[in-house]
A and B are shown apart, each in its own frame.
Chain A
Amino acid sequence: MKEPANNTAATRSSIGYLPRRDATPDTYKTLGFKCGLEIHQQLKTEKKLFCRCPAGLYQKPDDYNAELLRHMRPTLSELGEYDGTALMEFKTRKNIFYRVKNESACTYDFDDTPPFVLNREALDGAMKIALMLKCNIVGELHITRKQYLDGSIPTGFQRTAIVGIEGEIPLQNKTVRIIQLSIEEDSCREISDIGHERVYSTDRLGMPLIETVTYPDMLTPEEAAEAGQYLRFLSRSAAVVNTGIGAARQDVNVSITGGTRVEIKGVAHIKWIPDLTHNEAFRQKALLTIKEKLNSRVSDPAGWSPVSVEITAGIRPGIFNASHDDHFRAWAVNLPGFGGLLSFFTSPGRVFADEISDRLKVIACLEKPNMAHSEDSESPLSDTETAAVIKALKPGAHDAWLVLAGPAGDMATALETIEERCRLAFTGVPNETRKSLPDGTTIFERVLPGPDRMYPDTDSAPIPIADEMIETIRETLPDEISRRIAQLNAWKIPEDTYTYLLSRDLYPLLRELIEEAQLPPVFAGTLLGHTLKRAEGRFRCRLADRQRVIDLVSFVRNRGLQPAILKEALPALVRYQEKEIETLFFDMGFQPVPEEQLLAKIPELDTQFASIRTTDNPAARTAWIMGELRPLALGNINMGHLRRAVEGGRS
């Protein structure tokens, strides 16, 4: 066999992988790329969705009052089969610990009390967004249970309900259809997941979320990001959602021709979507290529099976991460027909062997590194160990093999997991949810749940939604995002401000500054889209009270000051949100100076400059004099006017 690294490079080019910057819409058209989004956004409410705990109180991982232990058991689906996810989670035999802080969680959160009546404030917010998405609003809300066995919700299911279906959003070049908008409770935050122990914090649990699901209408990674961005702007403009880290999370569904819908979970930033979907498309392409190779090599895929041999004696105890004690076991597995496939490229920096290793971590609870294999670039096995493996397995020319190690109790599940993943390779792309990584690649998270995991919540009654309720909410809807973008264009506001203006929902404030306070549009746009953005970034805080900006503008106008001073005063307003505006100006060292007095200083400064100048360049002179005058001039004189005066007075 070729060197593993060469093989990875060769397979990478054999599937036609190219970096995203080199890809064109045609690249994705050839792959048959399709992408849909599920956007989760926390609603801004005082209390949680199904109990009266305050929403939005977060604790540090070690700040808790009590800890509970639970296990999740799969329940049978209506067809009498265990859901695939369910079986997987059951195999993992996880001890799930919940950390409870009295302030942020109650007996409902850890499933010792039935739900209270659904939070109306949250429902109103969800309806507002459903209407903005032009959804058909349901006549009656039915709370449904969606099973989750990973423990992220202590009940083992998420309570969720459809608010509207069949909406749409307009992108630049197409309309993306919305399947549905639902209201649901948020899950726990994971603190750690090591071996058989997973720890969650219950602080976020039960906070109201909306989930917006689109059809797989996006045909390039860029479109997916655009749709994500649009949905983000839209929900922000409704002023009913939380902002900040973790307040919005995207799940991205990707498939290509011949592939399967794979769900990439928990994408924290919309800007990650293009790389993640691009790489997922090629990962599916790689798996489909592997499938073809296997099926051409193995005549009877159904009869294919790996050969496992225990080789604990031939392997150093404690190899990889495995703890070195009496329970340590090592097994070697021969994979007939898999030669050259373990080092087959799947994503940048990842090969097919990682698909197996990821599952060993998640399903068999073997922490990584958990295996070595015949196509490792740098094998952790010594020559003696490798020889022992080969002696035990006697692999054929077209075979691959791997060695795994860990606690005895996990070996049966681990061997099953290896066999299962390898069998799936014969059919192509497994149904999975995958976790996104910041480098644009993904790792296995769990088997994609089937449709049978939804069932009615017997603990709650349906909630009727009357026409009057819809009409009341309709009256509060903001303008459409697409219309806002058109207006920004009409105002000729620089495009680099759009994301900030729309994602922070500054548009209503901007309009007020332009239409009421009569600020020039470009000045107002950059005041918010540049000056405010930089100030919020620099001082690491958000301007809480937007009325203060209006007050500031009025202050400047009423004092007869020049608007340019707003660019100095706004950052101060962000930094000292408690201070009176007058105080801010005092602190800035501002003093009213009549225009004539300022102009009168020019000749004197001219003389000074003449004595210190090192160049004859007139621009240097202007810059220096302007610099000297600026602190005094700001707010007192139009700076353009002053500049012309300085330039005019040149001797």
Chain B
Amino acid sequence: MNDVLKGYKGRARKTLESFSIRVWSEAEVDTTRGRFEGIILPRSENDDDIHIVLKLATGYNIGIDINTITGMKEVGYKEAHYKIPEKEFPTSPEKPNVKLLGTGGTIASRLDYRTGAVIPAFSPGELYGAVPELADICNLTTEKLFAVFSENMGPKQYIELAKAIGEQIENGIDGIMIGHGTDTMHHTAGALSFMIQNSPVPIVMVGSQRSSDRPSSDAALNLIHAATAAAHSDIAEVMVCMFGPTSDEYGLLHRGTRVRKMHSSYRSTFRTLGDIPLATVTRDKITPLHQNYNKRRKDREVAVRAVFEEKVALVYYYPNMQPDIIDSLVENGYRGIVIAGTGLGHVNKPVYPAIERATAAGVTIYMTVQTLWGFVHMFVYDTGRDLMAKGIIPAENMLPEVAYVKLGWALGQTDDLKEVERIMLTPISGEITEREPYNGYLVYQGGIPEIEAFLKTVHR
């Protein structure tokens, strides 16, 4: 199907039809505001139906109100065809082999300059055209697993991704990169951390906070850092590789179970919570910060346990939360609930009966903290003890999202809630730490003289 009036609807569409004008027509448009000349562009589906978009000779786009149009004439036709140039990715036997698995995030993409549509660049050739530095780091091959936005990543994709990673490892790959949208990158990182155990190679998730069509994008540098980590790092874990500071200086390698997106738009949005990051990475160097990590190995003995129970919920508690929130989950057949409670892990009294009903119905409930930093401590106050007595299990210092994916993964393996509890409370990949280091909690406050002095001298 080829709609010659792509994106136009309603009145705007009728107007174009009445003058026999198509998208990509070079048109002269007479209006009550004067004459406009340019190429008719497709219109974004969500925009109104009383304007027509024109690209002027100077490259600018403008809109014309159809109510002002007195005449339109097609004087030419210029359809845009957009293709990302491909260059063959240079390989050599000395370089490690790295596989980039695509999930649909736009780690590398090109904007169609005429329509504004984002076209993902993904093949090694396309990536090489955009980020030639990659060829100095590794032999890159790619595989597009799905094309979904980050928010649409879910259990089905986690499982498929984990299996694909397992295959790659068995086939002898030296490192894996996963291109992923940033919004739910930490959910996927958590899921993969549980599904893939004992990996002999680095598994590095990477994305970008500023789309790669702009000169200041973090995409290329993130990709370079991630490729460096996947190809050369000694850390064989599931990691997230994104900007350390917002400056173009170095990336951080975050452990997949302790990382969280903490700002809606900053480049340095990913932070390790309750611990320090695994390492810093630059174009040519990886500097471990953590001493304790899984080392790279030659063998291929990876354990892939790709299962997930979808009937698991994460509930963010708020004062005045009503018991029917919990009841409705039980009624809808949910098998597990993770609560992000206040403070040390609390919810209000009116919810108690609902919790009792849930546990009685065989729904397992874990408590995490919405403070994000710190452990659940349910012995400190009566509330906590009451809740434990009603069957809620404290999930130590697991991040809420991580506890959620872990519970889905645990319930995917067994119906035995005792076994589920054992799995949940046994640290697998740093999701529960024995101790919280002093420097694991750093949220600076601007305005304080010593912090201001720091900010003035250190790039962030």
A residues with CB within 8 A of B: 64-78, 80, 86, 102, 107, 110-114, 135-142, 144-145, 147-149, 154-157, 160-162, 165-166, 179-180, 182, 213, 451-456, 458, 461-462, 464-467, 470
Q: Is there an interface contact between B63 and A179, defined as CB atoms closer than 8 Å?
A: no
Given A66-B455, A78-B82, A140-B62, 18 more A-B residue pairs with CB atoms under 8 Å apart are: A65-B455, A73-B215, A75-B213, A78-B112, A102-B446, A107-B266, A111-B216, A136-B34, A139-B65, A142-B53, A155-B215, A156-B215, A156-B216, A156-B217, A454-B60, A456-B111, A467-B65, A467-B68
A470: min CB distance to chain B, Å: 8
Q: Which residues of B contact A179 (CB under 8 A)?
A: 58
Q: Is there an interface contact between A72 and B83, defined as CB atoms closer than 8 Å?
A: no
B459 on interface, CB distance cutoff 8 Å: yes
B342: min CB distance to chain A, Å: 29
B71 on interface, CB distance cutoff 8 Å: no
Q: Is there an interface contact between B60 and A180, defined as CB atoms closer than 8 Å?
A: yes
**In the complex, residue of chain B having the shortest beta-carbon distance to the beta carbon of A452:** B113
Q: Which residues of A contact B48 (CB under 8 A)?
A: 464
Q: Which residues of B contact A110 (CB under 8 A)?
A: 246
Q: Is there an interface contact between B59 and A166, defined as CB atoms closer than 8 Å?
A: no
Whether A68 touches B118, Cβ cut-off 8 Å, given contacts A112-B266, A142-B63, A452-B113, is no
Q: Is there an interface contact between A112 and B246, defined as CB atoms closer than 8 Å?
A: yes
B406 on interface, CB distance cutoff 8 Å: no
Q: Is there an interface contact between B63 and A76, defined as CB atoms closer than 8 Å?
A: no
Q: Which residues of A contact B80 (CB under 8 A)?
A: 78
16 A-B pairs within 8 Å (CB atoms) are namely A64-B456, A70-B216, A71-B221, A73-B220, A76-B84, A76-B110, A80-B84, A113-B266, A114-B265, A140-B51, A140-B62, A140-B65, A142-B53, A162-B58, A165-B36, A464-B63
B298 on interface, CB distance cutoff 8 Å: no
B208: min CB distance to chain A, Å: 12
Q: Is there an interface contact between A455 and B113, defined as CB atoms closer than 8 Å?
A: yes
B114 on interface, CB distance cutoff 8 Å: yes
Q: Is there an interface contact between B113 and A139, defined as CB atoms closer than 8 Å?
A: no
Which residues of B from 43 to 61 have beta carbons under 8 Å from A? Answer: 47-48, 50-53, 56, 58-61
B214 on interface, CB distance cutoff 8 Å: yes
Q: Which residues of B contact A467 (CB under 8 A)?
A: 32, 65, 68
Q: Is there an interface contact between A136 and B459, defined as CB atoms closer than 8 Å?
A: no
A123: min CB distance to chain B, Å: 14
Q: Is there an interface contact between A139 and B215, defined as CB atoms closer than 8 Å?
A: no
Which residues of B from 100 to 156 have beta carbons under 8 Å from A? Answer: 110-116, 118, 129-130
Q: Is there an interface contact between A455 and B111, defined as CB atoms closer than 8 Å?
A: yes
Q: Is there an interface contact between A451 and B58, defined as CB atoms closer than 8 Å?
A: yes
Roughly how many angstroms separate A138 CA and B69 CA in the complex, as a whole number? Answer: 12
B33 on interface, CB distance cutoff 8 Å: yes
Q: Is there an interface contact between A71 and B248, defined as CB atoms closer than 8 Å?
A: yes
Q: Which residues of B contact A453 (CB under 8 A)?
A: 59
**In the complex, residue of chain A having the shortest beta-carbon distance to the beta carbon of B62:** A138
B14 on interface, CB distance cutoff 8 Å: no
B118 in complex: contacting residue of A144, A213, A458, CB < 8 Å: A458
Q: Which residues of B contact A155 (CB under 8 A)?
A: 210, 214-216
Q: Which residues of B contact A138 (CB under 8 A)?
A: 33, 36, 62-64
Roughly how many angstroms separate A161 CA and B214 CA in the complex, as a whole number? Answer: 18
Q: Which residues of B contact A148 (CB under 8 A)?
A: 215
**In the complex, residue of chain B having the shortest beta-carbon distance to the beta carbon of A462:** B63
**In the complex, residue of chain B having the shortest beta-carbon distance to the beta carbon of A160:** B60
Roughly how many angstroms separate A569 CA and B105 CA in the complex, as a whole number? Answer: 70
Whether A74 touches B247, Cβ cut-off 8 Å, given contacts A112-B266, A462-B63, is no
Chain B residues within 8 Å of chain A by Cβ, number: 63
A162 in complex: contacting residue of B62, B85, B114, B456, CB < 8 Å: B62
Q: Is there an interface contact between A464 and B65, defined as CB atoms closer than 8 Å?
A: yes
Give the 6 A-B CB pairs with smallest separation, nearest first.
A140-B63, A156-B215, A136-B34, A454-B59, A139-B65, A456-B116
Roughly how many angstroms separate A78 CA and B452 CA in the complex, as a whole number? Answer: 43
Q: Is there an interface contact between B249 and A112, defined as CB atoms closer than 8 Å?
A: no
Q: Is there an interface contact between A144 and B459, defined as CB atoms closer than 8 Å?
A: no
Roughly how many angstroms separate A74 CA and B130 CA in the complex, as a whole number? Answer: 9
Q: Which residues of B contact A74 (CB under 8 A)?
A: 215
Roughly how many angstroms separate A78 CA and B116 CA in the complex, as a whole number? Answer: 11
B267 on interface, CB distance cutoff 8 Å: yes
A634: min CB distance to chain B, Å: 56
Q: Is there an interface contact between B214 and A68, defined as CB atoms closer than 8 Å?
A: no
Q: Which residues of B contact A464 (CB under 8 A)?
A: 48, 50-51, 63, 65
Q: Is there an interface contact between A69 and B211, defined as CB atoms closer than 8 Å?
A: no
Whether A113 touches B84, Cβ cut-off 8 Å, given contacts A75-B214, A165-B36, is no
Roughly how many angstroms separate A72 CA and B398 CA in the complex, as a whole number? Answer: 38
Q: Which residues of A contact B65 (CB under 8 A)?
A: 139-140, 464-467
Whether A142 touches B61, Cβ cut-off 8 Å, given contacts A78-B82, A455-B111, is yes
B35 on interface, CB distance cutoff 8 Å: yes
Q: Which residues of B contact A107 (CB under 8 A)?
A: 265-266
Roughly how many angstroms separate A135 CA and B61 CA in the complex, as a whole number? Answer: 16
Q: Is there an interface contact between A136 and B35, defined as CB atoms closer than 8 Å?
A: yes
Q: Which residues of A contact B59 (CB under 8 A)?
A: 144, 451-454
Q: Is there an interface contact between A458 and B51, defined as CB atoms closer than 8 Å?
A: no
Q: Which residues of A contact B62 (CB under 8 A)?
A: 138-142, 162, 165
**In the complex, residue of chain B having the shortest beta-carbon distance to the beta carbon of A146:** B59
A147 in complex: contacting residue of B110, B215, B456, CB < 8 Å: B215
B45: min CB distance to chain A, Å: 13
Q: Which residues of A contact B266 (CB under 8 A)?
A: 107, 112-113
B350: min CB distance to chain A, Å: 39
Q: Is there an interface contact between A76 and B112, defined as CB atoms closer than 8 Å?
A: no
B248 in complex: contacting residue of A69, A139, A160, A461, CB < 8 Å: A69
B460 on interface, CB distance cutoff 8 Å: yes
Q: Is there an interface contact between A112 and B265, defined as CB atoms closer than 8 Å?
A: yes
Q: Which residues of A contact B110 (CB under 8 A)?
A: 75-76
Whether A69 touches B249, Cβ cut-off 8 Å, given contacts A112-B266, A458-B211, is yes
Q: Which residues of B contact A114 (CB under 8 A)?
A: 265
Q: Is there an interface contact between B85 and A139, defined as CB atoms closer than 8 Å?
A: no
Q: Is there an interface contact between A139 and B265, defined as CB atoms closer than 8 Å?
A: no
Q: Is there an interface contact between A139 and B31, defined as CB atoms closer than 8 Å?
A: yes
Roughly how many angstroms separate A217 CA and B64 CA in the complex, as a whole number? Answer: 27
Q: Is there an interface contact between B31 and A67, defined as CB atoms closer than 8 Å?
A: no
Roughly how many angstroms separate A275 CA and B447 CA in the complex, as a whole number? Answer: 50
**In the complex, residue of chain A having the shortest beta-carbon distance to the beta carbon of B85:** A80
B33 in complex: contacting residue of A67, A68, A136, CB < 8 Å: A136
Q: Is there an interface contact between B63 and A456, defined as CB atoms closer than 8 Å?
A: no
Highest count of chain B CB atoms <10 Å: which of A77, A149, A454: A454
Roughly how many angstroms separate A309 CA and B451 CA in the complex, as a whole number? Answer: 52
Q: Which residues of A contact B58 (CB under 8 A)?
A: 162, 179-180, 213, 451, 454
B188: min CB distance to chain A, Å: 23
B121: min CB distance to chain A, Å: 9
